[in-house]
Amino acid sequence: MTRLNGAQMVLACLQEENVDVVFGFPGGAVLTLYDEIYKKGLHHILTRHEQGAVHAADGYARVSGKPGVVIATSGPGATNLVTGIATAYMDSVPLVAITGQVARPFIGTDAFQEADITGITLPITKHNFLVKSIEEIPWTFKKAFHVANTGRKGPVLIDLPKDVQVEEGFFSYPSKVDITGYRPTYEGHMGQISKAVSAIKKAAQPVIYSGGGVVSSGAHQELMEFSNKTSIPVTTTLTGLGSVPSNYELYLGMPGMHGTYAANHALDECDLLIAVGVRFDDRVTGKLDTFARQARIIHIDIDPAEIGKNIVPEIPIVGDVKLVLREMIKRVKPADITAWNEKVQQWKTAYPLCYDQKPDCSLKPQLVIEEFNRLTGGTAIFTTDVGQHQMWAAHYCQLKAPRRFISSGGLGTMGFGFPAAIGAQVAFPEQTVVCIAGDGSFQMNSQELATAVYYNLPVKIAIINNQCLGMVRQWQKFFYGGRYSHSSMAGSPDFVRLAEAYGAKGLRVLTPGEAAPAIQEALSIPGPVLIDFQVDPEENVLPMVAPNTSIVEMIGGDGY
């Protein structure tokens, strides 16, 4: 065994967990840890705000499938991580947050830069730890990474008092971990799987409703094999986008509040709903008592707490969706649902997503996203902020694989997209990473332009600039009588000059004809580029379902 101080042990733990990069921002309570980072040369990305660091770690985790790691100091440093931790928690992203804490004798005394971060984050972490002695460090880190990256994945926080970092002790890293009461179920119950196979055999109008759990478990190939073998059409949630290719013949698009006509009507008329790695979020279901009202429901999920939380299934299956789908593939047989598939294909053909871009009219945001697709060959990693641009990206990004569409789903965090793009670019330096942002949400973490420039990260930022908080404005138009209360973004900066002030390249696009050349120029530049696309402020995201109504009561669902 080797004798190390606490900070050295932390780095040794990260090395044992094969952590190749951390994101963070130093401060007084983590100076000893940062001194060891300096000595050891750990790859560290210094962001310009702790929220930027945690979102970057989140983006890294989503595209790589490995836990993201973020470090912050005590007090305000730790509390600045809260929104990012909650974002990761809602979307089941593996994340380990390491926060400094005041020395143990001062805990609970309202010492300088003290905050009870374990208490604050208790509802938004899978688990958190306050390290009380140096002997606890190896086991704490082993448990933290295990919990974050197993079962339903999620964030774990380790709070590390300042004096523990300087203590010395003998270091030995555990080879395995066994946590009392933590036993995720991976293998599905064979009796329930048999019931599901029987229900599939009897169904005349089945639909697969797939979510982020499919991406998280790496079950996209199994999902495709299952759909191909059974000929059952597929719809995917926002966090499940990419789990089937966008051009897959049986893919119906995204369902819910801004879902496609085909997806929403298929959910409404199906007689069997196969829910795979989803949690029946309200943005998908609409009014609960009208959702899939004719359907028997199979629900497959690794988290037993999600089974029956919003919708009570007839056939619940707790387990890893990858393993459960493998067992179902062995047992299911092709069914004759030709008439059903013809019907849903007719919906796709008759009511596609559409927009009207005239050459001499204002630039439409949908065109911007389609041009990025075309000019990147459908291979780019897209990240988004939250709002109208997020839904347009979800509709028009043509995805060939999972982990290529990174967006805050459950929490809907404005300011997420740009730092998440930085994390994605760090994970895959050779990939094209495009951040689709709104003019409102981009300003929440625009300081991370400095991070992108300093590390020469070639992120391409597309600001869909409609001079307003677009989704807020849309709701005010449809549901608040056109009373646009504080949704104007008048007074925003000149984004091109802002980019140039940080040392990035800035471009501006005013007309439809300028979009493609600007994107081509941006893609040819080896560093970060910001393009300010000034789009039609009157454009709305359609279709749209009003709150507390059925998902087939669609504004603009049948053509617009």
Give the residue numbers marked as catalytic.
50, 112-113, 162, 471
Give the Cα separation of 386 and 163 in Å (integer): 40
Name all contacts of 185-189 with Cβ < 8 Å and 24+ positions apart: 185/302, 185/304, 185/318, 185/319, 186/302, 186/319, 186/320, 186/323, 187/319, 187/320, 187/323, 188/300, 188/317, 188/318, 188/319, 188/320, 188/323, 188/324, 188/327, 189/317, 189/318, 189/319
Question: Do residues 408 and 87 make contact, with C-beta atoms less than 8 angstroms apart?
Answer: yes
Question: What tokens does 244 get?
Answer: 């089937």
- Kindly report the number of other CB atoms within 10 A of residue 276's CB atom: 29
What CA–CA distance (Å, rounded) separates 287 from 23? 40
- Tell me the CA distances in angstroms from 4 to 11, 33, 161, one per residue in order: 10, 12, 16
Q: Provide the sign of the torsion angle of the four alpha carbons 545, 546, 549, 554, taken in this order.
A: negative
Buried b (16+ CB within 10 A) or exposed e, 295-317: bbbbbbbbbeebbeeebebebbb
Cα–Cα distance for residue pair 201/128, rounded to 1 Å: 45
> Which are the contacts of 84, defined by CB distance < 8 A and separation ≥ 6?
50, 51, 53, 54, 55, 57, 58, 70, 413, 416
HEC profile of 114-153: CCCHHHHHHHHCCEEEECCCHHHHHHHHHHHHHHHCCCCC
Q: What is residue 468's three-state secondary structure?
A: strand
Rounded CA separation 461/448 (Å):
12
**CA 14 to chain CA centroid, nearest Å:** 24
Where residue 280 falls (left for φ over 0; alpha for ψ -120 to 50; beta otherwise) is left
**What is the token pair recorded at 552?**
């087939």
Q: Is the dihedral of CA 318, 320, 321, 324 positive or negative?
A: negative
| Cβ contact 467:488 at 8 Å | yes
